[in-house]
């Protein structure tokens, strides 16, 4: 019977049983026939046998997931000892770690990194292969790892029990050793139920890395125990206590995902994004407003912008970002600000590694020492990145609800902003006044770019006019500019301009934490960070009331109206 099946059918049958699906047809057929014979004989629970084998090996880590650990790690270390400096450097280069320094330093790095790539190099999956776009598959709360074989994706989902989603993204960045690596662990449950596997993938951030599937198990607890043990081995934290996660040197950090506000089905997001590009779908919105909403509410645009400034949106998708992750990023930058400019280089390297562990970056195989956050300028860049991510957290949660999206995604996105936009006619006095103000305040020092006005909107949020009215009699009122990245505008228009949180460092701001305005258009336009690839920028022109304090410094006292 099995011999009549096609190769793809054989692989589907094997996948349903959690068995390896690689090889030619005779190999697949033999594997399936063995499985069928075992099923007919009603053998003992395979998961229990597997669990007992694992339990006997707990004292020494096995290499069942393709790692060189336990006794094999000792063997690998011994082989390193016998190598020349040249050979050690070749091994270091293979692993993407620093190949400089003495033999002792090389040995230390290689011993530390020996759990990432076997001594013989990358396996058949190709550790060094560059990542490419693949289809994400979501069943339940978590997305299946993008590199799982399609026939596994078709029959399995990530296990969820109550609030526990057995899906762990781990990250470790060590600037001194040139490490920037990830580790993925997922418990997979068959859609039909009754069969479980544990999936691992690991490597340097920015490449596919290596992967391994452990199992199959017919006992759910056996698969969960394997998952928990691996999580502990890599982090020195118990899975059950992960909300109180404590980081340890030379171990992975758990990246907390937001499953409560999970993305809706990908087809909805794809349709929404298609409407939020150049040619919007049919919508009840006024065409000029529709075009603007399509510019600022595009999740794909946000991802692309963040990747351009170094953030790795594949390792920590924008829709999965949690507020706690953003808070940790701010906190580490604050600690860097406290020691920056000091003489303790090792501390700055360590803190930089912590930041890149919490906020994943793709550096490829470049030297990590080039990315130490050791100057005020670098600190400011990373602070702006975290601020942008903070705005994106607001935007993705705002835009993920697909209610009404299928009928009119542009109008639905506009409604959620709760900000009324009124287009100004190009022949109106107000439009011409603003255009004149713009051109008169484009500084000569910013002559490397020209600006064309596409559209001007009058923006109004409910309640702001009333809150501003009590300051309307004050004399110190000005129209001032405020610019920001495209990624930030969905958050800004929905929640207003906001001051940086307490955990953010003060060092990254010229005059401390606050909302910054300028009376020169081009000064604010620079903060839009437009590029040749994306030339669009958005600015606010705000009516701002301020008072002069006793120290003669300007002090802004109110929230602006939108105009």
Dump pLDDT digits (tens) for 293-313. Answer: 999 988 888 877 777 767 766
424 vs 421: CA distance, rounded Å: 10
Give the residue among 281, 363, 405, 254 at the shortest CA–CA distance from 246.
254
Which residues make Cβ contacts (< 8 Å) with residue 48, sequence separation at least 6? 219, 222
Give the residue among 422, 446, 386 at the shortest CA–CA distance from 563.
422
Q: Helices marked H in 309-375 — which ranges?
A: 323-339, 345-358
- What's 526's DSSP letter? G
- Does residue 159 carry a pLDDT above 80? yes
Q: What is the pLDDT of residue 201?
A: 94
For the four alpha carbons of 248, 249, 251 and 253, in that order, the dihedral sign comes to positive
Q: What is the pLDDT of residue 2?
A: 73
Q: What is the pLDDT of residue 439?
A: 94
- Does residue 277 carry a pLDDT above 70? no
* Neighbour count for residue 193 (Cβ, 10 Å): 8
Q: How far is CA 299 from CA 138, 270, 319, 399, in A?
A: 18, 10, 9, 8
Q: What is the pLDDT of residue 185?
A: 96
Q: What is the pLDDT of residue 39?
A: 67
196 vs 211: CA distance, rounded Å: 17
229 vs 225: CA distance, rounded Å: 6
Asked if residue 131 lies in contact with residue 207, where contact means CB atoms within 8 angstroms, the answer is yes
- Does residue 525 carry a pLDDT above 50? yes
- Does residue 458 carry a pLDDT above 90? yes
Give the residue among 438, 465, 476 at the shortest CA–CA distance from 454.
438
Q: Binning pLDDT at 50, 70 and 90, where does residue 292 land?
A: very high
- Does residue 120 carry a pLDDT above 70? no
Q: What is the pLDDT of residues 384-443, one digit of tens each?
A: 889 888 888 888 777 765 544 567 888 988 999 999 999 999 999 999 999 999 999 998
SS3 286: coil
For the four alpha carbons of 497, 499, 501 and 507, in that order, the dihedral sign comes to positive
333 vs 374: CA distance, rounded Å: 11
Beta-ladder partners of 361: 311
Give the pLDDT mean for 452-479.
87
Q: What are phi and psi of 263, to 5 degrees?
A: -60, 145
Q: What is the mean pLDDT of the chain?
A: 77
SS3 103: helix
Give the residue among 197, 392, 225, 229 at the shortest CA–CA distance from 306.
392
Q: What is the pLDDT of residue 542?
A: 92
Alpha carbons within 13 A on the beta-carbon side of 520: 9
Q: Helices marked H in 309-428 — which ranges?
A: 323-339, 345-358, 376-400, 409-417
Beta-ladder partners of 458: 422
Asked if residue 396 lies in contact with residue 264, where contact means CB atoms within 8 angstroms, the answer is no
Give the pLDDT mean for 199-227.
91
Q: What is the pLDDT of residue 322?
A: 77
Q: What is the pLDDT of residue 281?
A: 58
Q: What is the pLDDT of residue 401?
A: 57
Q: What is the pLDDT of residues 4-21, one digit of tens each?
A: 787 777 777 776 666 666
91 vs 99: CA distance, rounded Å: 8
* Domains (range + CATH), the chain: 2-41 (no CATH), 44-254 (no CATH), 419-562 (3.90.228.10)
């Amino acid at each position: 019977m099995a011999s009549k099946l096609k190769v793809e059918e054989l692989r589907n049958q094997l996948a349903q049983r959690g068995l390896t699906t690689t090889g030619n047809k005779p190999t697949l057929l033999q594997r399936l026939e063995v499985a069928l014979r075992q099923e007919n004989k009603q053998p003992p629970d395979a998961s229990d046998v597997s669990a007992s084998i694992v339990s006997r090996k707990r004292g020494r880590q096995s290499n069942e997931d393709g790692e060189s650990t336990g006794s094999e790690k000792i063997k690998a270390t011994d082989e390193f000892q016998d190598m020349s400096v040249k050979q050690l450097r070749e091994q270091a280069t293979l692993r993407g770690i620093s190949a400089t320094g003495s033999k002792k330093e090389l040995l230390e790095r290689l011993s530390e990194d020996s759990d990432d790539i076997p001594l013989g190099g990358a396996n058949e999956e190709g550790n060094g292969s560059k990542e490419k776009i693949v289809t994400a598959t979501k069943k339940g709360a978590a997305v299946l790892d993008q590199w799982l074989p399609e026939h596994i994706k078709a029959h399995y989902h990530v296990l969820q029990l109550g609030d526990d989603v057995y899906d762990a993204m781990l990250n470790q960045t060590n600037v001194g050793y040139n490490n920037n690596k990830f580790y993925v662990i997922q418990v997979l449950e068959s859609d039909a139920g009754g069969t479980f596997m544990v999936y691992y993938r690991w490597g340097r951030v920015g490449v596919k890395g290596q992967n391994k599937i452990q199992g199959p198990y017919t006992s759910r607890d056996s698969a969960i125990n394997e998952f928990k043990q691996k999580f502990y081995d890599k982090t020195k934290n118990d899975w059950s206590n992960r909300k109180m996660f404590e980081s340890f040197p030379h171990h992975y950090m758990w990246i907390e995902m937001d499953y409560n506000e999970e993305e809706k089905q990908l087809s909805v997001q794809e349709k929404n994004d298609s409407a939020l590009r150049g040619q919007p779908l049919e919508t009840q919105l006024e065409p000029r407003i529709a075009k603007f909403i399509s510019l600022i509410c595009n999740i794909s645009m946000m991802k692309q912008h963040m990747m351009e400034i170094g953030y790795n949106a594949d390792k920590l998708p924008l829709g999965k970002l949690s507020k706690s992750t953003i808070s940790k990023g701010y906190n580490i930058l604050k600690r860097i600000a406290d020691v920056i400019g000091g003489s303790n280089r090792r501390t700055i390297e360590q803190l930089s590694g912590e930041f890149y562990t919490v906020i994943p970056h793709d550096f490829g195989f470049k030297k990590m020492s080039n990315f130490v956050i050791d100057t005020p300028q670098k600190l400011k860049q990373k602070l702006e990145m975290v601020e942008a991510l903070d705005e994106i957290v607001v935007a993705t949660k705002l835009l993920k609800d697909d209610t009404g999206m299928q009928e009119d995604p542009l109008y639905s996105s506009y409604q959620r902003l709760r900000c009324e936009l009124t287009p100004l006619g190009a022949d109106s006095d107000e439009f011409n006044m603003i255009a004149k103000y713009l051109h008169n305040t484009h500084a000569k020092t910013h002559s490397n770019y020209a600006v064309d006005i596409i559209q001007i909107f009058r923006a109004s949020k409910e309640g702001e006019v009333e809150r501003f009215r009590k300051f309307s009699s004050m004399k110190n009122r000005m129209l001032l500019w405020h610019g920001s990245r495209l990624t930030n505008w969905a958050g800004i228009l929905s929640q207003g301009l906001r001051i940086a949180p307490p955990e953010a460092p003060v060092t990254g701001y010229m005059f401390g934490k606050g909302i910054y305005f300028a009376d020169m258009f081009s000064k604010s336009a620079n903060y839009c960070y437009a590029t040749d690839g994306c030339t669009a920028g958005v600015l606010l022109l705000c009516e701002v009331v301020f008072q002069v304090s006793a120290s003669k410094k300007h002090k802004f006292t109110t929230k602006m109206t939108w105009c």
